[in-house]
Structure 1
Amino acid sequence: MDLKSSVSVSASGLRAQSLRMRVIAENLANQGSVSQTPGGDPYRRRVATFSAQVDRASGATKVEVKGVASDKSAFQRVYQPGNPAADAKGYVLMPNVNSLVESADMKAAQRSYEANLSAIEAAKGMTMRTIDLLK
């Protein structure tokens, strides 16, 4: 794999992890967002999905964003009869966002982003040393 392909692969990883961190930030920002109507569904956690895609031109395997999907896990029910979002029995559905899970996912995405950035910096350094040798 040449340097251009390695930078391209790392750049696709940067884009993917950047999207992942944005989706996680949205989840954390909406972890307290309940329905606007009584008995309605609150904010549903979202998850970025990826796949490996072979670039025909270079033969390198890159990260491709498949999309952002909703997490189908159940909502937590909390008894709050005075809440405007409460159903007839006084229960409010809370978002299926767990801040500990989101924090762990954010840390993993951050580490992956940093690893891809380090790979790009290493490729840049090798290119600069090659240019210096040719002078």
Structure 2
Amino acid sequence: MHTASSGMQAQSQRLKIIAENIAGKDSVATDPSYDPYLKKKIFFKSVYDKNLKANVVKVFREDRDYKNIPVRYEPNHPAANAEGYVKYPNVDIIIETADRLEADSSYIANLQVANASKSLLKSTLTMIEK
């Protein structure tokens, strides 16, 4: 149950990052010396919890993605550099949507495992009472 719970917490954090990415997909800097919104990435790892005697999922780190920053030639834009190019967010709404669907599915799967564990525990306690 604890492993499933840690998976749900990890997917909740992942969904939060995805929501932030989607919200920032149109955020362009107002000055050429600044970057636009840069996509956030989240990394997980499996950690053995000695108290639970089980593996749990933990957020390893969060980071910004500095790769594939699209630029457009817009010389009149306030964020245009000396050559007339403006940097735009590197958020791909299709990828974010696919990631959201995957995170939702993972969250639901972990929820089902937690509910099954809870049901088994309840059945065990009922048998003990008899």
21-30 or 63-72: bigger deviation: 63-72
CA offset digits 1:40-91 (Å, max 9, x no partner): 3111111111111001123211101112111131210112222211112221
Match status 1:15 vs 2:9? yes
Tell me which of 84, 90, 100 is aligned to 2:78: 84
| Segments of 4+ moved more than 4 angstroms | none
User: 1:116-135 counterparts in 2 under 5 A?
Assistant: 116-133=110-127, 134-135=129-130
CA offset digits 1:74-129 (Å, max 9, x no partner): 21011222221111222110111111111111111110000000011111111222
Equivalent AA in structure 2 for residue 125 of structure 1: S
Match status 1:73 vs 2:63? no
Q: 2:48 matched to which residue of 1?
A: 54
Gaps of 5+ in 2: none
TM-score, normalised by the number of residues in structure 2: 0.92
CA offset digits 1:2-42 (Å, max 9, x no partner): xxxxx111111011000000001100100111112125311
The RMSD of aligned alpha carbons is: 1.3
Match status 1:27 vs 2:16? no
How many percent identity over aligned positions?
37
Instruction: Count the aligned residue pairs.
Output: 129
Structure 1 contact 39–86 (Cα < 8 Å) conserved: no
Match status 1:106 vs 2:73? no
CA distance in 2, matches of 1:38, 1:71: 19
